[in-house]
Amino acid sequence: MVDRRESVACEDVVMFVNAAVTSTGQREFRDDADEQRLSVEFLHAYVAGNYRELYAATLALDINDFNAALIVRHLLESSRELTPQTRRREGELIARRLELMAPQRVYKLFRELARRGVNNRRTRAIMRDWTAQRRDPVFDAVKYRSAVKAVLRHAHLPAPAETGKFLFTATRKVPVFGTPLFESWRQAHYAQSALYELPYTVAEGLAGKHGIKRAVFLERIAPQLTRLERLRLQRAGERAEVGAVRAELAEQPLTRLASYVLSLSRAERTARYDELRTALTESARRAAGDAAGSWGRVVAVLDDSFSSFGSTTKRQRPLAVALACRFLLKALAREFTGLWTSGLHDPLLVRPSGPTPLGERLIDALELAPDRLVVVSDGWDNSPPGLAAEVLRVWRERLDPAGATTVVHLNPVYDATGFDVKRLAASVPTVGVRDAEDVPALIELARFAEGRAGFAELSEYLTAREDRFRSRNHPGRQSGKVPA
């Protein structure tokens, strides 16, 4: 029998993990940005104050960068009463997580720490060590110039003479730089040709000042583009008829690729059908890895109702997660059936539309008696309301009490009012999902959301994940977020 206090603690930590996976503090379909930020900030303060050890351990899970930065900030803001052992453990977790975060996120975090006046010795040491291990500090100085300046000032870090001159001296006062990239940046203020030796994000602003036409700029800057920049700019390149910007779609992370596919019109998807389907299939197989074909008979209920549009800030993000999950689950399964709430059969042509008849689709799915049933939805069952929960209750209590079919609900949307992702039914574990690539790990975490595992078991699980994460043998997520 699980102790009630342990049960509550387990629910609190799982609730926080769900939020840390899904919430980005941005507008969602039903909550505005302020509601999202206030809700998640409260949740961070609550968990950090009551379960600090487990709060720090969540850095080892597949949470998003937004919440990882909030965790690091909270840990560094309140570290006065910690034992040396705890400081060392948290320091290792923070250092490892910062290695895996996008550099712009890390610089934003450091600037926020500076703004808040967090300047203890541990914070300065973390800033020093992270900046020292950057592979190309010259590139960082150019691409993140104002952020690098702020970090050096706040942590009292020395800079090489040339870098210091570049960061803190006006361009017109330096006749020439010895470092090639610094010199290209200086010349780019006066000569257009030097633009194309700079990082894309730096060159773009200067191109506007020079009045360079977009098509010309994209054609000439193409060799400098990263893999993800190519994907992000491919639509712009197509409109400008610039072939050099074209991305290798099959090499892209699965969820990002799904977002790209949904950004295309139905006519474009139809015209490029074979190319897009092949790219999604290959990306999903790569994400599945050695687990491909090992999940038996899988049925997925996928939400393409109108709320899967998300918001203008996160346009079609919930639908992109569902589409990516569909291809990943197909790669993981021996036999696979995907059922969209709209009744559509072709996944490449999905679009957000109509109500959410989850109950009807669950009946269709359970009739197939799969080994695994995976539901990817924001949980707002409304056609008719409550049918999904009743179907799942009757199935579990009357028709499948032995649990021959495992059911998991993956929810890509944080519910600010409920401080969690919205659940379908008490009998079904619900976990948050942001990237389809994380699904295998999330399925493992789902047993704690079901309420059958105790707090001690959850602590043991998090400790094991933390030890592997801190060992630096952890490969990091293959979702395109490993720092450049």
Q: What is the pLDDT of residues 103-147, one digit of tens each?
A: 999 999 999 999 999 999 999 999 999 999 999 999 999 999 999
Same domain, 26 and 91: yes
Residue 59 neighbours by CB distance under 10 Å: 25
Distance CA 183, CA 180 (A): 5
Give strand ranges (E) for 252-351: 297-302, 335-340
Say if 236 falls within a structural domain.
yes
pLDDT attached to residue 474 = 52
- If 0-12 CB within 10 Å is exposed, 13-18 middle and 19+ buried, where does residue 398 land? exposed
Are residues 310 and 316 in contact, defined by beta-carbon separation less than 8 angstroms? yes
The model's confidence at residue 87, banded by pLDDT at 50, 70 and 90, is very high
- 343 and 363 together in one domain: yes
Clarify whether residues 236 and 282 are in a common domain.
no
362 — phi, psi (to 5°)?
A: -65, -40
User: Which residues lie closer than 8 Å to 232 by C-beta, 6 or more apart?
Assistant: none
Alpha helices by DSSP H, listed for 101-199, are 103-115, 121-132, 137-143, 145-155, 161-168, 180-188
Largest CA distance in the chain: 82
Q: Span 413-433, mean pLDDT?
A: 92
**136 and 209 assigned to the same domain:** no
**Residue 54: domain span:** 4-188
In a domain, 14, yes or no: yes
Residue 382 confidence (pLDDT): 87
Q: What's the total number of domains in the chain? A: 3
Domain shared by 234 and 286, yes or no: no
Mean pLDDT of 450-476: 77
Per-residue pLDDT at 243 exceeds 80:
no
Asked whether residue 342 falls in the same domain as residue 411, the answer is yes
Mean pLDDT rounded to a whole number for the chain: 89
CATH code for position 406: 3.40.50
Specify the amino acid at residue 13: V
Question: In terms of domains, do 41 and 182 share one?
Answer: yes
**Torsion angle of the four alpha carbons 177, 182, 183, 188, in this order, in degrees rounded to the nearest 10:** -140
Summarised one tens digit per residue, pLDDT across range 266-314 is 999 999 999 999 999 999 999 999 999 999 999 999 999 999 999 998 9
Residue percentage of the chain with pLDDT more than 70:
94
- Give the pLDDT confidence score for residue 426 in this predicted structure: 85
State the virtual CA torsion across 271, 273, 274, 276 in degrees, nearest 10: 120
For position 331, what pLDDT does the model report?
97
Please give the pLDDT value at position 482.
Answer: 29
Buried b (16+ CB within 10 A) or exposed e, 97-135: bbebbebebbbbbbbebbeeebeeebbbebbbebbeebe
Instruction: Please indicate, yes or no, if residue 483 is contained in any of the structural domains.
Output: no
